Amino acid sequence: MSKPILATTSLAGCFGCHMSFLDIDERILELIELVEFNKSPIDDIKTFTKECDIGLIEGGCCNSENIEVLKEFRKHCKILVSVGECAIMGGLPALRNGISIKECLEEAYLNGPTVGENTAKIMPNDDELPMLLNKVYPCHEIVKIDYYLPGCPPRADLIWNALVALVTGDELQLPYEVVKFD
């Protein structure tokens, strides 16, 4: 019997959800017995090499590259899970949503306290740079999301419980301790 295939990625966020995922500690050895990884920083596979059963997405969408990656995950994953507040609501990156892109760029590259000597007033402008979006979008505003794991980041136990339930087909057990925010 083949194992379910799991893929993970990070969009606009801090990578904290992947760190929480790694906080399942020695249970990662149990997870390796349950799933095969594909396209994930966990196994360093950069592109999909096969269709996946479960995709974990952390981070929201703030640029064109984030949109492309998210759509690619939706296309290649039967089940897509938004992991953490950035994927679910835009998180901290969405604090820029009330500010124009022009104003954000000027603050970052021209007027910010850490800019230093940019006397030439140079703004990044290269075709290889992803285009910034008008705002930071949560994943469900771009593609269909099947499940949500809240938290900033979600607790390791929540990620573990959700993965085991998805892989085994059992009902997800969500005791208060794995979803509380105090």
**pLDDT, averaged across the chain:** 92
> Backbone phi, then psi, for 126, in 5-degree steps?
-140, 140
Helices 156-168 and 27-34 pack at an angle, to 10 degrees, of 20
Are residues 12 and 59 in contact, defined by beta-carbon separation less than 8 angstroms? Answer: yes
Q: pTM for the whole thing? A: 0.90
Percent of residues in the chain assigned helix, strand, coil, to nearest 5:
40, 20, 40
CB atoms within 10 A of CB 142: 17
* Cα four-point dihedral sign 46, 50, 51, 55: negative
- Given a cut of 80, whether residue 6 has pLDDT beyond it is yes
What does the pLDDT look like over 122-173, one tens digit per residue?
Answer: 888 899 999 999 999 999 999 999 999 999 999 999 999 999 999 998 887 7
- Given a cut of 80, whether residue 8 has pLDDT beyond it is yes
Pair of tokens at residue 6: 């799991």
Closest CA to 149 of 174, 167, 169: 174
